[in-house]
């Protein structure tokens, strides 16, 4: 289990004055300001859960992960990973976690991938059977042998990320912290990475905390979502609950057999003020309506009364739209189930 209680991190930054004279005077008399990167965050993640840690640039995601992995000490508050305070018991914590920071390498820069793996095998005391099982998986899914004996420093970003991901899972950690793990990976490798982590979770109960600006990573891996904005948690719950916070909902149906498309659109927009309707590429009618003005029951009732609802469904709201709305604050509470 991962617990954060009032977790806070402040950075003290030296102010620089503009211009040459300003730079010189900065050297003599330094002034500092404090940036609060993480602002009293609290959450609990179950063992075996897969949580997306979501937030705009600068929201405080990496800083939180650095505290959870023991790289940084909180300014106040605390966190526990499997009962261990990471920054106090760094070695103990390191044994049970796997880490990927897309922006910086966890591997030895001058060593090849096979050499790095041998070192990790010794450090973690990985049993032969586990090592061979995992290596076979990385051969199959990440084509790890193709990286050869090239030093990590000479690998491309995508090649390095394959090695980083494999290294983070090599010792069957209880928890993986993955911060932007798929940057530089093509679609096939992204898919392989998702398969790997989902398999570790299903077969070994590995807990996953993932940050990614690639929302398809989040949808393919995570069940839960923790959204931060300005260093504070603004949503904690399932990904499904997050999607239900959308301020607009949709219904799609096949209008053929009814009045023409133009009439259908007109009737909907007149009967449901605030809703918009239009033709989809497949020739169906899509109705988008404000969730705070209508319940889905009301919208469906109206549509049933006026049209033959062939092939009707309610598409899930788009995660990107929900997040844009969540980051700017003020999210209306979900009114009803939404699904048809
Ligand atoms: N070492 C540091 N010194 C000073 N300020 C820092 C430091 N690390 C992070 N910050 C500041 O803390 C805030 C949060 O940064 P953080 O890297 O945690 O954000 P993030 O959510 O991971 O962003 P991104 O999605 O862009 O990676 C930002 O304002 C950043 O400038």
Model confidence over 110-120: pLDDT tens digits?
A: 999 999 999 99
Q: How many angstroms is it from 11 CA to the middle of ligand 1?
A: 9
Q: How confident is the model at residue 334 (pLDDT cuts 50, 70, 90)?
A: very low
For the CA of 103, the closest atom of ligand 1 is 27
φ and ψ of 6, to 5 deg: 55, 35
In the chain, residues under CATH classification 3.30.70.250 are 246-327
Q: Counting beta carbons within 10 angstroms of the beta carbon of residue 8, is it exposed (0 to 12), middle (13 to 18) or buried (19 or more)?
A: buried
Is residue 320 pLDDT above 90, yes or no?
no
Is residue 27 pLDDT above 80, yes or no?
no
**What's the pLDDT tens digit per position in 234-254?**
889 999 888 888 888 899 999
**What's the pLDDT tens digit per position in 201-236?**
999 999 999 999 888 999 999 999 999 988 889 889
Is residue 331 pLDDT above 50, yes or no?
no
Q: Under CATH, what is the fold of the domain 2-242?
A: Rossmann fold (3.40.50)
φ and ψ of 15, to 5 deg: -75, 135
| Total residue count of the chain as it appears in this document | 340
Is residue 333 pLDDT above 70, yes or no?
no
* Mean pLDDT of all residues belonging to the chain: 89
Higher model confidence: residue 21 or residue 66? 66
**Architecture of domain 246-327 in CATH?**
2-Layer Sandwich (3.30)
**What's the pLDDT tens digit per position in 258-316?**
778 889 999 999 999 999 999 998 889 999 999 889 998 999 999 999 988 888 998 88
Is residue 340 pLDDT above 60, yes or no?
no
Q: Cβ(313)–Cβ(252) under 8 Å?
A: yes
Is residue 106 pLDDT above 90, yes or no?
no
Q: Mark out the alpha helices in the chain (DSSP H runs).
A: 19-28, 61-68, 90-96, 113-124, 128-142, 157-169, 187-204, 215-221, 239-243, 261-271, 296-306, 319-327
Which own/partner contact pairs does 288-294 have at CB distance under 8 Å and 24+ positions apart?
288/248, 288/249, 288/250, 289/248, 289/249, 289/250, 289/251, 290/247, 290/248, 291/246, 291/247, 291/248, 291/249, 291/332, 291/334, 291/335, 291/338, 292/247, 292/332, 292/335
Residue 245's Cα: distance from chain center in Å? 17
Maximum C-alpha span of the chain: 80
Nearest CA to ligand 1 atom 2: 11
Q: Cβ(142)–Cβ(80) under 8 Å?
A: no
Which whole number is the average pLDDT over 305-332?
78
Q: To test the ligand 1 pocket, which listed residue (35, 69, 209) has its Cβ within 8 A of the most ligand atoms?
A: 35
Q: In whole angstroms, give the CA distance from residue 10 to residue 33.
A: 10
For the CA of 62, the closest atom of ligand 1 is 22
Is residue 72 pLDDT above 90, yes or no?
yes
Q: How many angstroms is it from 234 CA to the middle of ligand 1?
A: 18
Q: How many angstroms is it from 254 CA to the middle of ligand 1?
A: 48
Residue-level pLDDT at 63? 95
Q: Counting beta carbons within 10 angstroms of the beta carbon of residue 318, is it exposed (0 to 12), middle (13 to 18) or buried (19 or more)?
A: middle
Nearest CA to ligand 1 atom 17: 62
Start-to-end CA distance of the chain, whole Å, equals 35
Is residue 66 pLDDT above 80, yes or no?
yes
Q: How confident is the model at residue 26 (pLDDT cuts 50, 70, 90)?
A: low
What is the complex's ipTM, to 2 decimals?
0.97
In the chain, residues under CATH classification 3.40.50.300 are 2-242
Close Cβ partners of 323 (under 8 Å, ≥ 6 residues apart): 54, 215, 227
Residue-level pLDDT at 328? 63
Of 287, 241, 245, give the one whose Cα is nearest residue 266. Answer: 287
Q: Cβ(274)–Cβ(314) under 8 Å?
A: no
Which residues, listed in sequence order, are joined to residue 52 by a DSSP beta bridge? 210, 225
Q: How confident is the model at residue 329 (pLDDT cuts 50, 70, 90)?
A: low
Q: How confident is the model at residue 332 (pLDDT cuts 50, 70, 90)?
A: very low
Residue-level pLDDT at 260? 82
Q: How many angstroms is it from 8 CA to the middle of ligand 1?
A: 13
Of 335, 254, 337, give the one whose Cα is nearest residue 290. Answer: 335
The residues lining ligand 1, judged by C-beta closer than 6 Å to any ligand atom, are 11, 13, 35, 37, 55, 57-63
């Amino acid at each position: 289990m991962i617990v954060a209680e009032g977790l806070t991190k402040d950075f003290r930054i030296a102010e620089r004055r503009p211009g040459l004279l300003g730079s010189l005077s900065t050297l003599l008399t330094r002034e500092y300001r404090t940036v609060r990167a993480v602002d009293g965050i609290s959450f609990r993640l179950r063992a075996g859960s897969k949580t997306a840690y979501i937030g705009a640039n600068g929201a405080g995601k990496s800083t939180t992960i650095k505290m959870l992995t023991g790289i940084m000490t909180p300014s106040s508050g605390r966190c526990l990973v499997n009962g261990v305070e990471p920054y106090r018991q760094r070695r103990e914590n390191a044994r049970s976690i796997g880490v990927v920071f897309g922006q910086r390498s966890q591997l030895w820069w001058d060593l090849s991938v096979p050499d790095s793996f041998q070192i990790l095998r010794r450090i973690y005391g990985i049993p032969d059977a586990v090592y061979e099982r995992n290596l076979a998986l990385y051969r199959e899914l990440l084509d790890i042998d193709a990286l050869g004996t090239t030093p990590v420093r000479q690998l491309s970003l995508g090649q390095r990320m394959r090695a980083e991901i494999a290294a983070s899972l090599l010792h069957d950690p209880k928890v993986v912290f993955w911060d932007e793990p798929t940057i530089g990976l093509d679609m096939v490798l992204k898919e392989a990475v998702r398969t790997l982590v989902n398999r570790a979770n299903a077969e070994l109960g590995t807990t996953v905390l993932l940050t990614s600006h690639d929302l398809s990573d989040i949808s393919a891996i995570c069940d839960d979502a923790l959204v931060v904005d300005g260093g504070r948690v603004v949503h904690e719950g399932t990904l499904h609950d997050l999607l239900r916070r959308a301020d607009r909902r949709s219904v799609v149906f096949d209008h053929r057999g009814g009045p023409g498309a133009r009439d259908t659109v007109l009737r909907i927009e007149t009967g449901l003020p605030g809703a918009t309707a239009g033709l989809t590429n497949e020739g169906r009618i899509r109705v988008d309506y404000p969730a705070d003005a209508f319940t889905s029951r009301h919208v469906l009732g109206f549509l049933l009364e006026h049209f033959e609802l062939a092939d009707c469904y309610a598409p899930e709201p788009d995660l990107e739209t929900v997040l844009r709305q969540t980051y700017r604050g003020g999210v209306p509470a979900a009114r009803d189930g939404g699904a048809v």
